[in-house]
Amino acid sequence: MSVGIKYSDVEVGFELPKVIHNYQRQDLVNYANASGDHNKIHLDEKFAKEVGLPDIIAHGMLTMGVASRVVTNWVKDISAIKSFSVRFSAPVVVPNDGRGTNVEFGGRIEEKMSDKLVKIAIEARCDGTKVLGRSLIIAQLA
């Protein structure tokens, strides 16, 4: 259960602090090695372009994991997340330019539920483009 954020202290519409993550090519290599997902669209620029992508793209599950930090950074307790559903609406393109790609993640309490649970709508944008569609985290507060 969450240690810091009390259910009684939040209301519907409350916005969680934003998280900005900079994706670098090395992040994709590290994630591929850790997860075993070596799909070429995440690692091979030539292949990604051959299949119609503008460049290599970040793994969806990596983006989902970073998105969950909106909640875990806020509540300071990873076990507070009880469920997470996500729809991807655009890829996170990671060019080989040394600057990487910034994605801004945010969250807003959409519903207060029973048992101190809250439904949090998660959003992610890259250069103004929404990269996550309807994404929800259910979290338990103190």
Domain at 77, CATH number = 3.10.129.10
The pLDDT of residue 1: 46
**Is the residue at 37 inside a domain?**
no
The span from the CA of 123 to the CA of 136, in Å, is 9
Burial class from Cβ neighbours inside 10 Å (0-12, 13-18, 19+) for residue 119 reads middle
pTM: 0.93
* Residue 14 per-residue DSSP state: P
Domain count of the chain? 1
**Is the residue at 88 inside a domain?**
yes
Name the residue range of residue 17's domain: 7-22+59-140
Model confidence pLDDT, tens digit, residues 16-35? 999 999 999 999 999 999 99
**Is the residue at 27 inside a domain?**
no
Greatest pairwise CA separation for the chain in angstroms: 52
